[in-house]
Amino acid sequence: MSFTADRLILFGATGDLAQRMLLPSLCALDADQLIAPDLKIIGTARSDMDDAAFRNFAREALEKYLPADRRGSMAGFLNRLSYQPLDATTLEGYEELAAKVDRTGKGIAIFLSTAPNLFEPTIAGLKHAGLADGDVRIALEKPLGTDLASSRDIMDAVASAFDEDRTYRIDHYLGKETVQNLLALRFANILFEPVWNAQYVDHVQITVGETVGLEGRVAFYDDAGALRDMVQNHMLQLLALVAMEPPTSFDATAVRDEKVKVLRALRQVEAAETVTGQYRTGAITGRSVPGYDEELGKESNTETFVAIKAHVDNWRWKGVPFYLRTGKRLPKRVTEIVVQFRCLPHSIFADKGAKTQPNRLVIGIQPEENIHLSMMAKMPGLDREGIRLRSVPLDITLPDAFTGTHRRIAYERLLLDLIEGDQTLFVRRDEVEAQWQWVDGIREAWDESAEAPKNYAAGTWGPSAAIALAERDGVSWHD
């Protein structure tokens, strides 16, 4: 639906996401004059406060989480803000919210960040107040359910009020600059596409490592675990972007059509192709940290680490393993993709004593945004004792390559796309369902095997079985 919204409703406007990401992102967009002067932002949550109190709340969040050089005229941004208290579980209050929003504008964008059990009553309230009809679109922040069935319930509730072309499902990883650069790397350069297939690629690794533990997410995380929290959304989206066929164009339908083909081609994983773990007491950057059960306050079989050997059964990737791993309390915070190419079929330098190593492409997403390609080069010398070759890096550090540009928060792009109506970096319903179907199959395999997560010390790269998962194929994790 083509319109640029001039009203933005933020559900959960006093929550952690709003403080850390949403309000700073909107203020930064305002500072760069990327949102129209007439855009009004209406926050809503349970907290009882008026417009002035919400603006003070927003000011404190911006001073804490947004660098001073990105705030612009903060007073001008704060004047955009207003607030309406709301209990999302009852229809009472939605009419007052509608009056605050004022339907006489050009269009409304809604950002819904709420617990899964509040999706249905919130949608009912929006319908009741006339906030779901006409030029209105809605963005949905995860979690979108806990399995395929609950996800479908949520999406059916949303679909009762919002068509698919007005529904924007968020995966904030897709807003990261380096993730989008993955598309540019593949489809704006002729260099890689001819070798981006099973003939030349040995394997792919995707790692999402966190140093943090529960960090206030006790109830949610113990119900979710690493598989639902990270693999079902972020990691599968990264895998889809790596493995997808070239889309016909860079628009929402073409890009998402190719991603969903990859997700549907994922082979069902057996329990033996996965490793789960749970961290115990250890040390992160020299600081002692408690184990998961100590943080939780009880024993639990929830996995805080998972490693998976996956396959995409299509023409391009048949036989190429995709190794996924993610976990909490790992040695460093990192998100990266490693494309390991095959060994040379024949080395002309072998008779001269030189050893070659396969090329490797490493795409760093966070905390450092970079692209690193290892290439074989001859070491200087007269070669009287044989030719010596060494792997040397070709590095592109993206912030350095584009000096003078801001390092943007991922939500800046996603909020701007929501306001303007571009769905390219949002997830379509069939993608979500394909992701859940694959993840549910893994959980069923775990239930049948009834194997408890293996212990690993905080500050290590997970259980030793995760190393063995790759090494039995002759593969080493890129640490």
Q: What CATH number is attached to the domain comprising 44?
A: 3.40.50.720
The predicted pLDDT at position 6 comes to: 92
Q: Which domain holds residue 395?
A: 174-405+429-472
Q: Is residue 477 scored above 80 in pLDDT?
A: yes
Same domain, 280 and 359: yes
The annotation status of 428 as a binding-site residue, yes or no, is no
Cβ atoms 311, 322 nearer than 8 A: yes
Expressed in percent and rounded to 5, the helix, strand and coil fractions of the chain are 40, 20, 40
Same domain, 212 and 360: yes
What integer is the mean pLDDT of 396-401?
Answer: 62
DSSP 288-345: EE--HHHHHTS-----SEEEEEEEB-STTTTT-EEEEEEESS-SS-EEEEEEEEPPPS
The predicted pLDDT at position 391 comes to: 72
Q: Is residue 254 scored above 80 in pLDDT?
A: yes
Hey, what amino acid is at 134?
G
Q: Is residue 50 scored above 70 in pLDDT?
A: yes
d(CA 306, CA 327): 6
Angle at 223 between CA 222 and CA 224, to 5 degrees: 95
The annotation status of 229 as a binding-site residue, yes or no, is yes
Of the candidates 53, 174, 139, 153, the residue with the CA atom closest to the CA atom of residue 433: 153
Work out the widest C-alpha separation in the chain, in whole angstroms: 87
The predicted pLDDT at position 214 comes to: 83
Q: Which of 97, 123, 141 is the last residue of a domain?
A: 141
Burial class (CB in 10 A: 0-12, 13-18, 19+), 150: middle
d(CA 339, CA 360): 6
Helices (H), 197-316: 218-226, 236-243, 252-264, 292-296
Residue 271: phi and psi, rounded to 5, are: -55, -35
Q: Is residue 376 scored above 70 in pLDDT?
A: no
DSSP 116-148: GGGHHHHHHHHHHTT-SSSSEEEEEPSP--SSH
The predicted pLDDT at position 66 comes to: 86
pLDDT band at 275 (very low <50, low <70, confident <90, very high): very high
d(CA 75, CA 43): 17
Q: Is residue 158 scored above 60 in pLDDT?
A: yes
Sign (positive or negative) of CA dihedral 246, 247, 248, 250: negative
The count of structural domains within the chain is 2
Residue 191 CA to chain centroid, in angstroms? 27
Q: Indicate which residue of 234, 346, 372, 478 is catalytic.
A: 234
The percent of residues above 90 in pLDDT, for the chain, comes to 65
Q: Is residue 397 scored above 90 in pLDDT?
A: no
Note the pLDDT tens digit of each residue in 305-361: 999 999 999 999 999 999 999 999 999 999 999 999 998 888 666 766 677 778 899
The annotation status of 46 as a binding-site residue, yes or no, is yes
Which CATH number belongs to the domain containing residue 344 in this structure? 3.30.360.10
The predicted pLDDT at position 401 comes to: 54
The annotation status of 259 as a binding-site residue, yes or no, is no
Same domain, 107 and 202: no
d(CA 34, CA 37): 9
Q: Which of 141, 165, 187 is the last residue of a domain?
A: 141
User: Has residue 416 been placed in a domain?
Assistant: no
Same domain, 264 and 185: yes
Q: What is the mean pLDDT of the chain?
A: 89
The predicted pLDDT at position 400 comes to: 58
More confident call, 343 vs 123: 123
User: Has residue 78 been placed in a domain?
Assistant: yes
User: Has residue 50 been placed in a domain?
Assistant: yes
Per-residue tokens: 293: 């059960």
Same domain, 180 and 287: yes
User: Has residue 157 been placed in a domain?
Assistant: no
Same domain, 136 and 188: no
The annotation status of 210 as a binding-site residue, yes or no, is yes
Q: Decide if 346 is catalytic.
A: no
Q: Is residue 389 scored above 80 in pLDDT?
A: no
User: Has residue 421 been placed in a domain?
Assistant: no
Measured distance between the N- and C-terminal CA atoms of the chain, rounded to whole angstroms: 45
User: Has residue 167 been placed in a domain?
Assistant: no
pLDDT band at 151 (very low <50, low <70, confident <90, very high): very high
The annotation status of 172 as a binding-site residue, yes or no, is yes
Cβ atoms 26, 58 nearer than 8 A: no
Same domain, 114 and 180: no
Same domain, 184 and 39: no
pLDDT band at 304 (very low <50, low <70, confident <90, very high): very high
The predicted pLDDT at position 258 comes to: 95
Residue 101: phi and psi, rounded to 5, are: -70, -45
The annotation status of 390 as a binding-site residue, yes or no, is no
Same domain, 251 and 393: yes
Same domain, 270 and 384: yes
Same domain, 190 and 75: no
Cβ atoms 240, 206 nearer than 8 A: no
User: Has residue 159 been placed in a domain?
Assistant: no
The predicted pLDDT at position 1 comes to: 58
The predicted pLDDT at position 179 comes to: 82
DSSP β-bridge partners for residue 323: 205, 309
Note the pLDDT tens digit of each residue in 183-223: 888 998 898 889 999 999 999 999 999 999 887 667 678 88
Note the pLDDT tens digit of each residue in 431-460: 999 999 999 999 999 999 888 999 999 999
* Residue position matching structure tokens 């390219």: 424
Q: Which of 96, 117, 141 is the last residue of a domain?
A: 141
Q: Is residue 257 scored above 80 in pLDDT?
A: yes
Same domain, 41 and 103: yes
Note the pLDDT tens digit of each residue in 57-86: 999 999 998 888 887 788 889 999 999 999
